[in-house]
Structure 1
Amino acid sequence: MNRLVLIGGIGAALMGVAVLAFGSGSAEADRVTLRPDHTETVALGAEVYAAQCASCHGVNLEGQPDWRSPGEDGRLPAPPHDASGHTWHHDGDTLFRLTKFGTGALIGDPDYESNMPVYEGVLTDDEIIAVLSYIKSTWPDEVRSRHDEIEEQ
């Protein structure tokens, strides 16, 4: 009996360690943690970005031309995600919520019209975090450091 309790306790402890080590991909936790230095996460993010994001935000994260001015439809073009854009000005939680739930939900205006799709039900939380981690992994060290400071606030 004691052996079973001990084995069960060890198993539970190992599960806890695994959740701490690998569970930072879940966005339902208190904070989203981007992983721009985690090779597997960044590789997954690059794949998902190519399939889901590059058609609007550019293969090289360059965004659409004149992205700060509304187009003929009154909507803003897709911004760049490279260092020239404003993505890095937002913390991971904000970027995650914008991607998963859309701009309208983020700003509290369900009537806000945007060309940015809502990815809830399309991408998993881990895939969204991987894409954001991939994007951050491409930024120069200075921009990544500034983003890290934003994340610490």
Structure 2
Amino acid sequence: MGEFTISQLSERIGQELGVSDWVTIDQSRIDAFAACTGDDQWIHVDVERAKRESPYGGPVAHGYLMLAMIAPLSLEIGVLPKDAAAGLNYGVDKARFLAPVPAGARVRLRVVLTGVEPKDGGQAIMKAKSTLEVEGSDKPAVVAETLAFLIPAKGTQKS
């Protein structure tokens, strides 16, 4: 959890909330995502063909796998306010897949708070610029405007 409360979010707009550790996106993770979603396009899962035919010289991770990495890495960073019982994915206003993530590459997440919309009962919608960086690449894999619906812990709600 963060070192701030839901009511203090507006004071942090424009600030970086943190950067995650590096995470390796190995072929087994890519294969598991393909099995889970049914997206088994050869550029992701056929290692030998990807080495021969891919413009990237080997298999690359799914863009939506990289988008899905934002939630767990955000939690690792501690972007949730300390008085939030939960932060639920509320949506993505915009997402761009800017660079491939080759199998075996490492990624990390950088989160900047860009807005907050207070709701009844102390709830809020938190908007952030989430940038998934690829180690050694000038371009990030994903830049997304992510939204989280924050639910305050019991006893901390405003009436």
Does the pair score TM above 0.5?
Answer: no
Normalising by structure 2, we get a TM-score of: 0.23
Kindly indicate which of the two structures has a greater share of residues assigned to helix.
1
Normalising by structure 1, we get a TM-score of: 0.24
- Which has the greater radius of gyration? 1
